[in-house]
């Protein structure tokens, strides 16, 4: 079994907490990460010296080193997808959300919030959920290897039903969900597949239940957007 570094794990937990909750103080980090305040301060100072976090009057926030590191990922999914997402959100008036695959969970990378309605749905970037929940998760899960799917579905409430849903998603090329992550929210999502055939992200549309009847009409523009983003990913 590979050796595990508890200090490294704490360091990454602190960095993720700053990214998710910042600006935060050392006391906030200690509480949120359930670690000693002295340890939290020491880890924050180390991260600050390497520019992974920076300290301001309001507390610690993400530093430039994180963004420099992120830019080395090629292609940058968020940068590629954002223009198409904004165009789609403006056209349909609903929120468009981008999910990525991380540690076999779906994590929100970015969103383009629709501005045509007072009642609308928003998804906090950084939030995550199992792949077997929500349209965005299902649309990613359906295009993973059989081995990965089998491992992930061990935690699902009804693996047989989940497999049937995965097959339907493969046939349709998209997934629809409602009330799985947030009550009163309906979603439709399509996978983003790169030139090598891998799927590590999805793009979706979220609507409140009062406009759920619109989802079928959003299928074509969503699939067109997904195809455009996938093409631009190369």
Query: What pLDDT digit, counting tens, does each position of 131-179 carry?
Result: 999 999 999 999 998 899 999 998 888 989 999 999 999 999 999 999 9
CA distances to 92, 182, 217 from 211, in Å:
12, 15, 11
- Give the pLDDT score at 114: 85
pLDDT tens digits, residue range 195-219? Answer: 777 898 999 999 999 999 999 999 9
**Residue 65: pLDDT over 60:** yes
CATH topology of domain 6-70: Arc Repressor Mutant, subunit A (1.10.10)
Among the ranges given (24-38, 62-76, 81-95, 158-172), the one the predictor scored with the smallest mean pLDDT: 62-76
Which CATH code of 2.40.50.100, 3.30.450.40, 2.60.40.10, 3.30.70.360 fits the domain covering 77-233? 3.30.450.40
Q: Which of 10-19, 61-70, 71-80 has the highest mean pLDDT?
A: 10-19
Q: Which two tokens stand for residue 220?
A: 């074509």
* Residues forming CATH 1.10.10.10 domain(s) in the chain: 6-70
* % of the chain residues with pLDDT over 90: 63
CA distance 17 to 124: 14
Rounded to an integer, the average pLDDT of 172-199 is 90
Which residues of the chain does CATH 3.30.450.40 include?
Answer: 77-233
Which tokens go with 96? 């468009």
What's the pLDDT band for 1 if we cut at 50, 70, 90? Answer: very low
pLDDT of residue 2: 56
pLDDT value at residue 217: 94
């Amino acid at each position: 079994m590979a050796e595990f570094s508890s200090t490294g794990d704490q360091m990454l937990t602190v960095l993720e907490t700053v990214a998710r909750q910042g600006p935060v103080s050392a006391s906030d980090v200690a509480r949120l990460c359930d670690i000693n305040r002295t340890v939290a301060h020491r880890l924050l100072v180390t991260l600050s010296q390497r520019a992974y976090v920076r300290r301001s009057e309001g507390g610690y926030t993400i530093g430039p080193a994180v963004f420099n590191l992120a830019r080395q990922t090629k292609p940058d999914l968020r940068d590629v997808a954002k223009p198409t997402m904004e165009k789609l959100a403006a056209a349909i008036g609903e929120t468009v959300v981008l999910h990525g695959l991380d540690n076999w969970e779906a994590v929100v990378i970015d969103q383009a919030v629709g501005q045509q309605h007072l009642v609308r749905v928003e998804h906090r970037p950084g939030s995550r959920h199992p792949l077997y929940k929500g349209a965005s998760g299902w649309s990613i899960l359906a295009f993973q290897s059989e081995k990965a799917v089998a491992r992930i579905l061990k935690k699902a409430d009804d693996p047989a039903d989940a497999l049937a849903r995965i097959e339907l998603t493969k046939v349709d090329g998209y997934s629809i969900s409602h009330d799985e992550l947030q009550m009163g929210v309906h979603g439709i999502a399509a996978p983003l597949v790169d030139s090598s055939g891998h799927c590590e992200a999805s793009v979706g549309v979220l609507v409140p239940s009062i406009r759920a009847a619109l989802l079928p009409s959003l299928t074509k523009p969503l699939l067109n957007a997904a195809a455009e983003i996938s093409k631009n990913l190369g």
